[in-house]
Amino acid sequence: MSVATQGTASNYLQRAPSPSGLADVIDLILDKGLVIDAFVRVAVIGIELVTIDARIVIASVDTYLRFAEAVNRLDLAQTENAKGIDELTDGGEKVKDKAKGAVEGIKEKVTGSNGKS
Amino acid sequence: MSPTVTEAPAYVYGVTWADGARTDARGVGDASVRVLEHGELAALVSDIPSPDIRAKRRDLLRHADVLQQAFEQRTVVPLGFGTVFDSGDDVVAELLEPRYEELVSLLQELDGLVELTLRAFYDDQAVLAAIVHDDPQIAALRGLSGQGAQMALGEAVSRALADRRNRDADEIVAELSSLSREVVVEERVAEFELVRAAFLVDRPAVEELETCAEQLAERHGGVVRFKLTGPLPPHHFVSERWAS
């Protein structure tokens, strides 16, 4: 549930009163909140997988070539104009999809470590 | 083992003030959530058939929903996902009773405070265009053929993006921090993400923080997309670990 605010900033500030999807929720409850060690029944090992979508830009040949390609492909005349909201929304979806993948990963880990499903 | 009441394992969502605590939420595994009182404290719990929890999509959402609903009535100390005691009696005997004073003072400290989270992302096309625009050296390298030129271009863009990210992130976090009691800034962000942070604020200051975010969004319009979520329970600000 999210509502864009009114006014000139509306395209660029999304305002949500509560977490609006799995990606948001994972950020809030997996390695946050009070943790009482002896009673946590989800294998902590799976939680690291949440950071699949959280990669820092690292200096690598692959990153450099990807950036070079992206910059070469830029249509500067077009990007001078304001970006459409469609493309921005698309960016958000990508993050969500990756987070979904992370949770699948957790399921696998947890199921595996319990030895049953 | 207590001979009375519930023998099913009890899943715990969080701890709140007993006074005024009530819930009709559905929790993990679709079980109904109940309030388990002990003195001034109340734990939000639900029965689960087995103590082995799997982090399923629906259950993760339910955990957050239960806390969100409780938080809209009273202050809540949120627990992380997946805390299970052998029974409801054990929640009292092993959490509420031995940790009573600590939980009471945590709730007192958090009374009147709310969490807001902010994520800020670059629009990739727009930020790359801005980098080309601002740096003549990058603009000159653009379109040159050959592996060496491509590597030089990519490296220069990567460095320019990192600089810009640091500058913008510092500015955004500093402005919002000035309205907050405490701040948690995540170090790990996605490639075109520049801020992932949580702010603990006095409830009356929420509006000010919103206005500040709107101004930031306007100032960075076209290049940065912001998402502000809350008021939320203080998930990021009770991230302690208790050994027992």
B185 reaches A (C-beta below 8 A): no
pLDDT over threshold 50, residue B103: yes
Per the CB < 8 Å rule, is B142 touching A72? yes
Q: Of A8, A15, A29, which to mutate for an interface test with B (greatest number of B Cβ within 10 Å)?
A: A29
Tell me the CA distances in angstroms from B31 to B23, B46, B53, B100, one per residue in order. Answer: 12, 6, 14, 26
Name which of A29, A46, A55 is nearest B190 (Cβ-Cβ).
A55
| Token pair 């969490």 in the structure block, residue | B115
- pLDDT for the residue B187: 85
- pLDDT for the residue A110: 38
Size of interface A-B (CB pairs under 8 A): 257
B98 reaches A (C-beta below 8 A): no
The answer to whether the beta carbons of residues B17 and B42 sit under 8 Å apart is: yes
Residues 6+ positions from A5 with CB-CB distance below 8 Å: A13, A15, B210, B214
| CB burial readout A29-49, b (16+ within 10 A) else e | bbbbbbbbeebbbbbeebbeb
B56 is written with which tokens? 């399923």
pLDDT, tens digit, 9 for 90 and up, residues B42-55: 999 999 988 777 77
What count of other Cβ atoms lies within 10 Å of the Cβ of residue B152?
17
Report the gap between the CA of A112 and the closest CA in chain B (Å): 10
A38 is written with which tokens? 């002896």
Beta bridge partners of B130: none
CA distance A83 to A61: 29
Interface of A with B in 25-64 (CB under 8 A): 25-42, 46, 51, 53-57, 59, 61, 63-64
Judging contacts by C-beta atoms under 8 Å, the chain B residues touching residue A26 are 60
- pLDDT for the residue B176: 98
Q: What is the mean pLDDT of chain B?
A: 93
Name which of A12, A14, A80 is nearest B221 (Cβ-Cβ).
A12
pLDDT, tens digit, 9 for 90 and up, residues B140-177: 999 888 989 999 999 999 999 999 999 999 999 999 99
**Confidence at A86, pLDDT banded by 50, 70, 90:** very low
Residues 6+ positions from B198 with CB-CB distance below 8 Å: B115, B116, B117, B118, B183, B184, B235, B236, B237
In this prediction, what percent of chain A has a pLDDT beyond 70? 42
pLDDT, tens digit, 9 for 90 and up, residues A21-50: 888 898 899 879 999 888 887 754 444 444
Per the CB < 8 Å rule, is A87 touching B77? no
